[in-house]
Structures are given as C-alpha cells and as structure tokens.
Amino acid sequence: MKPAPALAEGFPDLSGMRIAREPHWFRWLSAALIVLVLAAIARAFAAGQIEWSYVSRFLTAKVILEGIVNTMVMAVLAMALGIVLGIVVAIMRLSPNPVLKSVAAGYTWLFRGTPLILQLLLWFNLALVFPTIGIPGVWTARAVDVMTPFLAALLGLGINQGAYTSEVMRAGMLSVDIGQYEAAHAIGMGRLRALRRIILPQAMRVVIPPLGNEFIGMVKATSLASVIQYPEVLHSAENIYYANSRVIELLIVAGLWYLLVVSILTPLQMLLERRFARGTMQFAR
Amino acid sequence: MTKPLVAIRSVSKNFGEFQALKTVSLDVWPGEVMCLIGASGSGKTTLLRCINQLTAIDSGGIWLDGELLGVREQGGRLYRLTEREIGRQRLKTGMVFQRFNLFPHKTALENITEGPLQVQGRKSDEVRTEALELLRRVGLAAKAASYPAQLSGGQQQRVAIARALAMKPMLMLFDEPTSALDPELVGEVLAVMKELARSGMTMMVVTHELGFAREVADRVVYMDQGAIVEQGRASDVLAAPREERTKAFLSAVI
C-alpha cells in the first residue's frame, strides 16, 4: 500500500485566525451628514411660521377623524370594485373570444387614457348629460339625487382602478405556467373553473406586491374626490383652513394621517403575501 | 369481437408550416400497453395530446370508447363540441406530463382530490379515502400533506399519476413521464407504471426508456416526421426492426 502523499510546504495554517472588522469610515461620515441635514430641516420648521399647537389640536378633531374614516371607506370600496373589474377584464382580455377581447382593451384604453380628476368630474356632473336615469317604465330617478359625491367618487375611482388592476391581473395570470392550464384541463376543468381554482390562486402570489402599490396609490387618490365635495380627510382639512387660515398646519395634519394609514398597510400586505405563498416555500426534504 | 378503445383515423395536424402529424391511423385495444418511440419532433407527443384534446386536430377523426372526440357529425358536416362536452370527454383519459404539472398551491392529497371533488362533484369523505389509497398505491402514503415543492421529482410524478387515476380513466396517457427526472429517480416512476400495466390499465406511453418498452409494452410504435414508420410486438420492433429509419434510430439511442 502506498503512503498518502505529504502536503506541500509553504501554505501556513490559518485556522483560528479571524477576519478583521472593516472600519467603514464613509458610512459613519455619510450618516453623520444626513443627521445634520435632517436636524437643520427640523430646526427650520420649528422656527418657521407653523403653530404646532394647531397641528396637535386638529390631529384628533372630530371632522378630521370623520374625514380619515371616509378616506379609508372610499379607498377600500373603490379598490374592491377595481379588483373585481380588474379580474373580469383580465379574463376577458385573455379569452379566445374577439368581442370580449376588444371590449376589455377598449375599457382599459378609455379609463387609463384620461385623467382621474376629469373622470371624477364627469361622473359627478352626469346630471348635465342625463337629467333622469333608470329603466323607462320600471324605475327612474333624477340624476342629481342619485349621483351623490359618494357614488360619483366610488364609480370614478373604482372604474379607473379597474383599468390599471386588469393589467396587473393579466400579468399575474400570464406568469402561471401553461402546464398548469393543461393539467387543469386534463382533469376535466373548463376555462373558468381552471382560472378560479388553479390559475388565480397562483397568480395572487405575483400580483399582491403590485396590488399593494395600487392600494397605497388609491388611499392617496381619494384626496382627488375633495373636488366633488366627498368629505374625505383632505376635504375636511380644507374646510377647516378656509375658516381659520391655518393652511400649513391643517395640511400637515392630513399628511400625518396619510402616512399613518400607509404605514399600517405595509405589514398587512406582508401577511397577505405569506397566505398566498403556500407551497412555494422550500422546506428540507 | 372487441372494439378498439381508441381509433385514430387519418389524423393530420400542422403547426404553421410544420406538419406534426401526417394522416396517422392507429388502433389501441382495451388493456393494451403501447409505447410510442421516435426522435423529438416525430409527432408522438402531439398524437397523445390530440387524444386528450389539449391539441385540436386539423383533419381526420379520433374515437374514444366509440365516441367521436371534439366534434359532432350531423348531415355531412362537423360541428365543434362545447367546452363542457370536451371536458366530459377528457374525463375518460388521464394525462401524465413530462414536467409533472402538479398544482403547487395544493398538497399531494389536494392535488388528487381536486378533480373528483370539483369536476365530478363526488362526496368528500369517499374521495379522500380513495385518494389516500391511491397515494399508498404509488408508495407515498406518508406524503399526503406535503406540497409539491417538498417532494422530489420522482415523488411528484408519482403523485401526478395518482391524480390522473383519481378520475377513474379508461385510458392513461404518459408524455415522456421520466424525461425530466434525475437518473436515480426514473426507476420508482417506472415501477408504478409497471404495476399499473399489470393491473390491466390501457396505456399509451411516449418514452425514451427502451428497457421499459421491451419489458412492459404489448406493442411498440416507431414514429418519424409525423408518420408511423413501423409497429409491432416490442420484441420484434426493438430487436429486429425491418425499416431502415427504425434501425438508424435504435442504433443512435442504444
């Protein structure tokens, strides 16, 4: 039996030595600079023409609280409408039927192609076009009575959102492997059942991050409904500063509320993502 | 006289300029195990997919259990069946894919019960019992609660076979079931397929596993350029091919 070959000389034993910690001078320097700049900005605002007592007083004023509740109610309802429309339109867009396809493409083109504030104003002023609405002989009503600021905001925001959400949903459905459609068909599922049971649950995993984005956008887009007299938080803030002229203070109040709401939404999105990640996380075999 | 379970008559299929199937005719008899061999692009997978109607044929006809697939003949014209009717016809066949195509958001057990519960609308406790029995049959009784990502390729393919069997098909179609597997995992899938063949299931298997074909197949069909070149008993076609193209293919593969 041959002896094991000896290891070559000239390669010292490094076991037991540790890698030295790097000093990271630049990180410390840049962090210090940023703290300085932030301190300067804070000082400027503290010394500026802002009555902070008004901010703290109006932060929890009844009108403001009602406003933020209205903002959230509108954001949730309009987003729900947008998601429902988005799923339906995405399914139509991917359907083999050319009529459904064109209708879906036309909807997306129209509502993505015009400004949201213009759409809100159109819905709110629908009475100028159609003084009465309804089904002749069954039910009719004056459009001004039906098209309240709430309904106009809901339709304007929701239908606009649907146009954007449909593209997010379509991307999610396209991200699912073609083999999943085939496997679903092979066990006798039709197109709609395959979409509902197999494709959409898998697409959800992909679409939740962009939908979270869209929802945060929606929370802020509700502020546009202030132009059609929907009493959301910015509208409430405006009404107060028309009376007391504390413009900046009230805008800061509204801004803080938006920041708070958006901060709460981020962890909620993570919970949802985990729910739809079932089966995709790798475990030890 | 028994009738063929599958009767394929003058079936053609083009993908653009490419002729995938050129007037193919073939019978598959009840209880028969047929292996389809040939180079990639020879049309064997397309033929399988046409039987399961994942691919629509351009001309000709396929009868399964005496029923014309995909279309209905009336007054000398053919009318396409509705999606619902095609779905009902698909229930007679079980399909096993090269890349498994298990539903990743469902456990092994849920993958198997999905069809019987959602499509066939059967009772859940009865379906569950059968699904557990199928998992035991493919040797995965302990993996009922595992998600596909937690299973090896061979285990996933065995679940996929169980999923297809859960619909109680008359015919099992296998599209290169071991081609995506690591070599050491091929055996466990072939073992399940051999057991299935012994149980009397009618099977059409597109495969490159000539050893499996030699051992299990009643008939081997060699396809090339969208046409059937040679067919016969496995021992004849594989050991003593008559056609030059078959000889060339077999010598290249072995």
Give the domains, in start order, of chain B with CATH numbers: 29-49+90-253 (3.40.50.300)
Residues in contact with B205: Cβ distance below 8 Å, sequence separation at least 6, in sequence order: B33, B34, B35, B36, B174, B177, B193, B212, B213, B217
Chain A residues within 8 A of B174 when measuring between CB atoms: none
- In this predicted complex, what is the ipTM? 0.92
The total number of residues written for chain B in this structure: 254
CB contact under 8 A, B90 and A197: no
Q: Which domains does chain A have, with CATH numbers?
A: 53-274 (1.10.3720.10)
Chain A closest CA to B117's CA: distance in Å? 11
Angle at B107 between CA B106 and CA B108, to 5 degrees: 120
Average pLDDT over residues A7-36: 91
- Alpha carbons B200 and B28: distance in angstroms, whole number: 14
Burial B213-247 (b: 16+ CB within 10 A, else e): beebbbbbbbbbebebbbbeebeebbeebeeebbe
- Alpha carbons A147 and A153: distance in angstroms, whole number: 9
**Chain A interface, Cβ < 8 Å to B:** 177, 179-180, 182-191, 193, 197-198, 201-202, 205, 276, 278-283, 285
Count other Cβ atoms within 10 Å, centred on residue A237. Answer: 27
Chain B residues within 8 A of A202 when measuring between CB atoms: 103-105
Q: What is the pLDDT of residue A284?
A: 35
Work out the pLDDT band at A51, boundaries 50, 70, 90: confident
Q: What are phi and psi of B210, to 5 degrees?
A: -70, -30
Helical packing angle, A62-93 and A233-244, nearest 10°:
150
Q: Are B21 and B206 in contact (CB under 8 A)?
A: no
Nearest chain B alpha carbon to A180: B101
CB contact under 8 A, A183 and B103: yes
**Full pLDDT tens readout for chain B, 254 residues:** 689 999 999 999 999 999 999 999 999 999 999 999 999 889 999 999 999 999 999 999 999 999 999 999 999 999 999 999 999 999 999 999 999 999 999 999 999 999 999 999 999 999 999 999 999 999 999 999 999 999 999 999 999 999 999 999 999 999 999 999 999 999 999 999 999 999 999 999 999 999 999 999 999 999 999 999 999 999 899 999 999 999 999 998 87
Q: How far, in whole angstroms, is CA B201 from its chain's centroid?
A: 11
Work out the pLDDT band at A285, boundaries 50, 70, 90: very low
CB contact under 8 A, A185 and B87: yes
Q: What is the pLDDT of residue A213?
A: 92
Q: How far, in whole angstroms, is CA B132 from its chain's centroid?
A: 23
Tokens 């490094």 locate to A14
CB contact under 8 A, B105 and A191: no
- Threshold 0.90, pTM exceeds: no
- Alpha carbons A4 and A78: distance in angstroms, whole number: 76
- Torsion from C-alpha of B86, B88, B89, B95, nearest 10 degrees: 100
